[in-house]
């Protein structure tokens, strides 16, 4: 039994638990690419799945039909001619009472178009039917993530040699992308964040033409994508000799992250996983300067479940792959974030990222 057969049966288990007769996934221009790939191994920008208790149909257009027939093995593969809304005709033939559709990735327009064309089948928007399956990684998924991480660690080592006064944030971001693409990566897992000086106080920042200056913090948030799976790494370094204040903030963030990592294990709630880092930063007097969650799941997408957050409702399971990324951000001065990736285990976790962090790197 191959991995896609197993995933299909697990999806059917979810349908039975929710008393749904079928499931429809519509990937238009990549709108639900990750879920489609997870279930079928097909990575094209257009594809439709219709799954019932005893049938599974894969539809795509003329651009992808040959590729789909070669790639998708567990589904009946057919070419879809006409507009995507003709999917409703296929569903009507099945004479189902209810069919679920992935709400978060389906446009309101498409939902209403399909619903209006269904005759006796109720279209039910749902969330998480596939995503909950994706939170626990199998060995092949973890291996792919590890490959992406090894490349990202090497890219970080490489980019340190490019940091000097006068080089711009955009130039550094381009050097990261070039390295990843020319050393075996599919591409970037996300657009690299390269922040310098006071801009390091912006957790999600887009590189600009600002040039690195002596004394600057430089924050890299970067990740390669390999075999469709993502890496995610953040490190903060300083150009020249670090000030006492820079060392202090870095030490607090590092301690917060290390406490969070030591605490991680299966069975924790989102809030319990988040608490050690948040408490450490708050105790140091910077509670208001750490606004985001401590981490998130990682896999086919750079942000997926489970969340490590005081607002999250997840419970960690063995096989989750998560980031641990506390930070302190001081507007007008700068910020520090340190991020690693770990696999959750029954009695702890295994950290996958290996880029140096024990001491603030001075370049």
DSSP labels, 40-73: HS---SEEEEEEESS-EEEEE-TTTHHHHHHH--
What does the chain come to in residues?
A: 363
Question: Which residues have a Cβ under 8 Å from the Cβ of 49 and sit 6 or more positions away?
Answer: 23, 24, 25, 36, 39, 40, 56, 57, 58, 59, 75
- Average pLDDT in the 102-121 region? 94
Q: Using CA atoms, how far apart are residues 86 and 43, in angstroms rounded to an integer?
A: 22
Q: Using CA atoms, how far apart are residues 96 and 80, in angstroms rounded to an integer?
A: 20
Question: Which residues have a Cβ under 8 Å from the Cβ of 212 and sit 6 or more positions away?
Answer: 163, 164, 165, 166, 167, 168, 169, 172, 196, 218, 239
Query: Following CA atoms 311, 317, 318, 321 in sequence, which dihedral angle do they give, to the nearest 10 degrees?
Result: -40
Prediction pTM value: 0.96
Q: Is the pLDDT of residue 136 over 90?
A: yes
pLDDT of residue 1: 78
Structural domains in the chain plus CATH codes: 3-134 (3.40.350.10), 139-351 (3.90.230.10)
- Average pLDDT in the 202-214 region? 97
Q: Is the pLDDT of residue 6 over 90?
A: yes
- Average pLDDT in the 211-220 region? 98
Confidence bin at 263 (pLDDT 50/70/90): very high
Mean pLDDT for all residues in the chain? 97
pLDDT digits (tens, 9 = 90+) for 7-24: 999 999 999 999 999 999
pLDDT of residue 84: 79
Q: Is the pLDDT of residue 86 over 90?
A: no
Positions of E strands within 80-223:
98-102, 122-126, 187-188, 193-196, 217-222
- Average pLDDT in the 208-233 region? 98
């Amino acid at each position: 039994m191959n991995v896609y057969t197993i995933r299909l049966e697990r999806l059917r288990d979810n349908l039975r638990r929710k008393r749904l007769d079928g499931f429809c996934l519509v990937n238009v221009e990549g709108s639900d690419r990750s879920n489609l790939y997870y279930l079928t191994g097909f990575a094209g920008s257009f594809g439709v799945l219709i799954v019932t208790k005893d049938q599974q149909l894969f539809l795509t257009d003329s651009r992808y039909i040959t590729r789909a027939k070669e790639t998708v093995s567990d589904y009946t593969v057919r070419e879809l001619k006409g507009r995507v809304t003709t999917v409703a005709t296929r569903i009507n033939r099945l004479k189902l009472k209810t069919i679920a559709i992935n709400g978060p990735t389906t446009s309101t327009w498409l939902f209403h178009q399909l619903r209006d064309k269904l005759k006796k089948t109720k279209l039910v928007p749902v969330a998480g039917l596939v995503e909950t399956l994706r939170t626990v990684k199998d060995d092949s998924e973890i291996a792919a993530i590890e490959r992406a991480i090894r490349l990202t660690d090497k890219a970080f080592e490489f980019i340190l040699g490019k940091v000097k006064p006068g080089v711009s944030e955009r130039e550094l971001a381009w050097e990261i992308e070039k390295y990843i693409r020319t050393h075996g990566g599919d591409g970037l897992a996300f657009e690299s964040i390269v922040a310098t000086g006071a801009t390091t106080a912006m957790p999600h920042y887009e590189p600009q033409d600002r040039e690195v200056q002596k004394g600057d913090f430089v924050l890299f948030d970067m990740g390669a994508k390999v075999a469709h799976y993502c890496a995610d790494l953040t490190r903060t370094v300083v150009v020249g000799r670090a000030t006492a204040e820079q060392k202090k903030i870095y030490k607090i963030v590092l301690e917060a992250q290390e406490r969070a990592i030591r605490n991680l294990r299966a069975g924790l709630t989102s809030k319990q996983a988040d608490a050690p880092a948040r408490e450490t930063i708050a105790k140091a007097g910077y509670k208001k300067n750490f606004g985001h969650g401590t981490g998130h799941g990682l896999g086919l997408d750079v942000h997926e479940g489970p969340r490590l957050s005081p607002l999250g409702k997840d419970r960690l399971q063995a096989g989750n792959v998560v980031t641990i990324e506390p930070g302190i951000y001081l507007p007008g001065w700068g910020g520090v974030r340190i991020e690693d990736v770990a696999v959750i285990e029954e009695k702890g976790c295994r950290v996958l990222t290996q880029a140096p962090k024990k001491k603030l790197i001075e370049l």
